[in-house]
């Protein structure tokens, strides 16, 4: 279960790096702003600073999860390093999961995006809790 949890955490982190790229790097490209239901190029330009900031939140969540994954995966036997790693994974993936819940509650049009964003962190957290409890 540890390996499965770490794999889902990696997928969640990589998805959030992709979201960072869209929000902070390619926001004003029509393919990106249309994906986020922004109405026009002018609106994309107006919301660019907000999207830029939001993108970095997603990047920082991804980095936290990746550091946690590394701490768990490469922990020396008997060290406290896995505790640090699981704390980072649960915190980062838990935040991703809660953010997807907020997105789902924002309206029916966001349900698909919320499921996409929330499924892998949910699996990472649930499987991680089961793995830690079994250890």
Does the reported pTM lie above 0.75?
yes
Give the structural domain span for 24: 2-134
68 Cβ neighbours under 8 A, 6+ residues apart:
9, 84, 85, 86, 87, 88, 89, 90, 91, 92
Q: What angle do CA 73, 92, 133 make, to 5 degrees?
A: 55
Q: What is the pLDDT of residue 72?
A: 97
Q: What is the pLDDT of residue 27?
A: 98
CA pair distance 65, 49, nearest whole angstrom? 25
Q: How many domains is the chain partitioned into structurally?
A: 1
Helix (H, G, I), strand (E, B) or coil at 50: helix
Q: What is the pLDDT of residue 39?
A: 97
Q: What is the pLDDT of residue 135?
A: 80
Residue pointed to by tokens 């490469």: 74
pLDDT per position in the chain (135 positions), as tens?
A: 999 999 999 999 999 999 999 999 999 999 999 999 999 999 999 999 999 999 999 999 999 999 999 999 999 988 999 999 999 999 999 999 999 999 999 999 999 999 999 999 999 999 999 999 998
């Amino acid at each position: 279960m540890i390996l499965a949890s770490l794999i889902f955490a990696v997928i969640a982190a990589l998805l959030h790096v992709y979201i960072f790229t869209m929000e902070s790097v390619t926001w004003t490209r029509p393919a990106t702003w249309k994906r986020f239901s922004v109405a026009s190029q002018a609106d994309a330009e107006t919301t660019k600073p907000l999207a830029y900031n939001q993108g970095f939140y997603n990047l920082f969540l991804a980095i936290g999860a990746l550091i946690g994954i590394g701490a768990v995966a490469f922990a020396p036997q008997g060290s406290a390093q896995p505790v640090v790693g699981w704390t980072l994974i649960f915190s980062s993936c838990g935040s991703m999961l809660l953010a997807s819940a907020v997105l789902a509650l924002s309206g029916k049009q966001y349900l698909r995006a919320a499921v996409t964003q929330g499924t892998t962190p949910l699996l990472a957290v649930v499987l991680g809790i089961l793995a830690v409890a079994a250890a």
